[in-house]
Structure 1
């Protein structure tokens, strides 16, 4: 019985896989092409804009800080571990951010959240014209 199942799978799996790939890959590549084209056409420039990133001392927040720094954004980096955050601030400045401020805060505390927003606004201004 087991030999019959193996024979069936050996005969049916390769053609099924081939035709599945033949039908599914072209639409997938077409979709990827159009999404990359749209992202190129409609990409937003963050150069000079203020980006506030919480959890910037490690993980996703850290990598977001580097990516936004490469794109020329002004950064307000927030984290609980100030030693690790200081290293991220230095590296983000090296990546090309024109301005990086460091704010030690815990976003699980409401007073820290208010403080980090206030510090960011006080440092960079309340709007594009610095009003």
Structure 2
């Protein structure tokens, strides 16, 4: 019985630790634990836009205007229109087409519809 209690306690403490870690480290909020693991196992090659930071990217919320996004994080590396009513802003890229941290913002009717962030494996 004592072994079971110790096991449950260790699992609970691990979950609490991982939750706290995710709250304290911005890149974990963006790429998750899988991104942390992949970054450890693979060589990352991410080029971010000039004013990019993980903390700034986390401030981007659905419903913000394009002007608000640009004020927070600056100009993207690439801007394009994947569909007629959608504008896309990309804040990261891989100079050599390999593994990198993808950061994109999609706007519909000049408002943020989606913020995308994950560790991209090529």
Q: TM-score, normalised by structure 1?
A: 0.26
Q: TM-score, normalised by structure 2?
A: 0.28
- Which one scores higher on RCO, CA 8 angstroms, separation ≥ 6? 2
